[in-house]
Chain A
Amino acid sequence: MPQPLLSLQGITKSFGSAPALREINLEIAHGEFVALLGPSGCGKTTLLRSIAGFVTPDSGRIQIDGVDMVGSPPHLRPLNTVFQHYALFPHMTVAQNAAYGPLRAGLSKREAETKAIEALAMVDMARFSERYPRELSGGQQQRVALARAVVNRPKLLLLDEPLSALDMKLRKRMQLELKQLQSSLGITFLFVTHDQEEAMAMADRIVLMNEGRIEQVGTGPQLYMQPRTRFAAEFIGEANFFDFRRSGGAIELNGGLATVATHAPDLPDRGLAVLRPEFLRLADASELSLEGCRFSATPLETLRLGSHDILYVQAQGHTMSVRLPGNRLPAHLPDQVELVFDPANLHLLCQEP
C-alpha cells in the first residue's frame, strides 16, 4: 500500500475515568470515502474531533500524508470539517461564509470571493450568496456548509453526522449528491454516522465502532455478508441468530432445528450462526425433499410493506424474521409453514456464542 493519506496509530482517549477511544488503528487511502459507523457513545465523534484537532488524544499518533498532527491546532491542519449543525456564521452572508476559508488562507478579497462563488455554484447555491443563513432551509444550509468546507480543497474532509438534521427524502438526495461531489472533487471524505443505511449507501469502506473500539472494517457488502461479531451482525441490517454445535462433518442449528453439511476445517465446536431474513423463504412443494436446511415454523405476524413483506415466525421457541418479495404472500397463512435456506448463505461467527 502506498503512503496512506490518514494514519491513526494506537489512539486512546478517556474523559475522566470513562474510556472513549481504546487503541484505534486505522489507515485511509487518498480519495477514499469512509464512514465511521456506530451507536451513540461508541467514540466515533471523539475520533473525528481528534483528527480535526479539537480533542487531544491521551496517546497515539495521527498522521496526514506522513506528517504528525498531534499537538498542532485545528487551523494548521490540512483538513476541513462539516459540522453537525452546520455552524454557519450567522452574522455573515452565504458568500461571506464561503469566502471565510480563502480569506484566512491569505487570498485577496476578490480572489476569495471568486473561489467562494465557485464553491457555492458546485452545490447549486450561488444564487443565494447574498442571503443570511437564517433565511435558508436546512438542506440549503447543509449545502453552504459543504461549500464552505471544500472551498480550500482540503486533503481530507470530515463530516460529523452531516445529514442527521434533514428529513428522510432530502437525506436520500443529499447522500447521492455527496457521493457525486466526492468523486468529482477527489477529496478524501471521512464521515460519522449512526445510520447504517447511510453508511452503506455512501461509503467505499465502513469502520464499525463499538465502545471505543473498531469492531470491523470493510465494504458495506463485506460487513453485511461476513460480520465478525454478533454486534456487527446486529448493527448492520437485520439478522436471525442460531446457536450451532458441530458434530462430525455437519453443524446442527438450535439443537436440531436444521442440519447443514460443512467443509470448513477450523470451526469451533460451538458458536453462533447468522442468517439474514432474505435468505429464508417459503418452501414450495418441489423442495420438500431437501433435507436439513428446511424446517417448519409457526407464523406470528406479517408486515406487508409493498416492496417486500416481513414475516415473523416461531420455530422451536425462537422468533425469527423472514423477508419475502412483495405481494407474494397469500392473504391467509396456514398454521404451519415450511421454510428453507441455502446453506451457503449461513454465516458462522468465528468467535463467541
Chain B
Amino acid sequence: MSAQKFPALLLGAALAFLTAFFLIPMTVVLVASLQDKAGGLSIAQYARVLADSYHLAVVLTTFRISIFTTLLCVALAYPLAWYLVRIVRWRWWRRACVILLVIPLFTSNIVRSFGWIVLLGRNGLVNDAAVALGLADRPMRILGTETAILVGMVYVLLPLAVLGIGNALLKVDRALESASDDLGATPLRTFLHITFPLTLPGVVASAVMVFTLATSAYVTPALLSGGRVTVLSMLIFQQYSATFDFSFGGALSIVLLALTLILVGVASRFGKVRT
C-alpha cells in the first residue's frame, strides 16, 4: 500500500463510520420529524413541541437543569482544579486525588444514581442528618425534585469539568503571574487580569462539554426524578419506546439538538481569548 493511499483510507473509514452511524440516523430522525400521520410534509410536530405548554415546560426544565448543572460544575471545579494544580505539593497525593476523581467515571451511571437515591431518600443519610441537626422538623422530599436531579448531574459531570479546567490551569505560564505581581498587582488582581482570562477558553470548553452532556442525560434524571420531573430525553424515550410516535420523537430530538447548538455557539463566543 502506498504511503499516500493509507491516510486516505483512514479518513475514508472515519467518514464511512460517521455517515453510517451518525449522518444517516440523523437524517432519518429529521425526515421523520417533518412528516404528518399520513406521511406528508408538515411542521405540525414542531408546533406541538413549542406551542403546547406542557412540552414547552419540559424544554424549559431541561435547559434550566442543564444551565444550573453547568454553572455549579464550573463554580465547584475551578477551586478543585486550583487545589490540585496549584496547592498540592506532594506528587503522590495529587495522583491519588486525580484517581479519586476519575474512578467514578469507570462506574456505571445507574449504580451511581442509585447511590444518590439511597442518600437522598426519605430515610436517607441527608434527611437523617438534617433532622438530627435540627435543620428540618421532619424528613424533606428531595427525591423527585429538580434539586435531586441537579445534585446527581453535578456529581456525574464534575470530574470532567475539573479535568478540563485543571488542564487549562496547568498550561498557564507562571512567569506571567510573576510579571503581574512584579508590576504591582495584588494576588487577586493577578487572578482576575491574568490567570482567569488565560484559563477562560478551558473553562468555556469544559462548560460546553458539561452542558451538552447535561441536556442529553437520561439515566440520572430518570432515576432521580421519581417520575415527578420530566426532561426532554425522558420525553423522547417515551415517544420511541412507549407511544411509538417517531415523528414527534424526532421533532423533540431536533429541538433539543438545535437549542443545545445555539447555546453552545453563544457560550463559545465568550471563550475566544487571544493567546
Contacts and interface: CB of A to CB of B under 8 A. Distances in A.
Interface of A: 52-54, 73-75, 80-81, 83-85, 87-91, 100-101, 104-105, 132, 134, 148-149, 152
B274 interface: yes
Q: How large is the interface on B (under 10, 10 to 19, 20 to 34, 35 or more residues)?
A: 20 to 34
Interface in B85-103: none
A318 to B, nearest CB: 47
A80 B180 CA distance: 10
Contact of B181 (A75, A84, A132): A75
Given A75-B182, A81-B182, A104-B185, 19 more contacts: A52-B182, A54-B178, A54-B181, A74-B181, A75-B183, A75-B186, A83-B179, A84-B175, A87-B179, A89-B176, A89-B180, A90-B198, A90-B275, A91-B197, A91-B275, A101-B183, A148-B183, A149-B182, A152-B183
Contacts of B186: 75
Contacts of B197: 91
Interface in B160-194: 173, 175-176, 178-186, 189, 193-194
B183 A80 contact: yes
A218 B194 CA distance: 40
A91 B180 contact: no
A104 B178 CA distance: 14
Contacts of B173: 87
27 contacts: A53-B181, A54-B178, A54-B181, A74-B178, A74-B182, A75-B183, A75-B184, A75-B186, A80-B182, A81-B182, A83-B178, A84-B175, A85-B175, A87-B178, A87-B179, A88-B179, A90-B274, A90-B275, A91-B275, A100-B193, A101-B184, A104-B184, A104-B189, A134-B275, A148-B183, A149-B182, A149-B183
A344 to B, nearest CB: 48
A262 B181 CA distance: 57
B242 interface: no
A104 B183 contact: yes
A25 B71 CA distance: 54
- Tell me if A's interface is mostly helix, strand, loop or mixed: loop
Contacts of A54: 178, 181
Nearest to B175: A87
Contacts of A87: 173, 175-176, 178-179
A69 to B, nearest CB: 13
B273 interface: yes
A149 B158 CA distance: 41
Nearest to A76: B184
A118 to B, nearest CB: 16
A53, A80, A100: most-surrounded residue (chain B CB, <10 A): A100
Nearest to A145: B179
Contacts of B180: 89, 100
B183 to A, nearest CB: 4
Contacts of A52: 182
Given A83-B175, A85-B175, A73 B275 contact: no
A75 B194 CA distance: 14
B91 to A, nearest CB: 16
B181, B185, B189: most-surrounded residue (chain A CB, <10 A): B181
Nearest to A49: B178
Contacts of A105: 184
B274 A91 contact: yes
Contacts of A149: 182-183
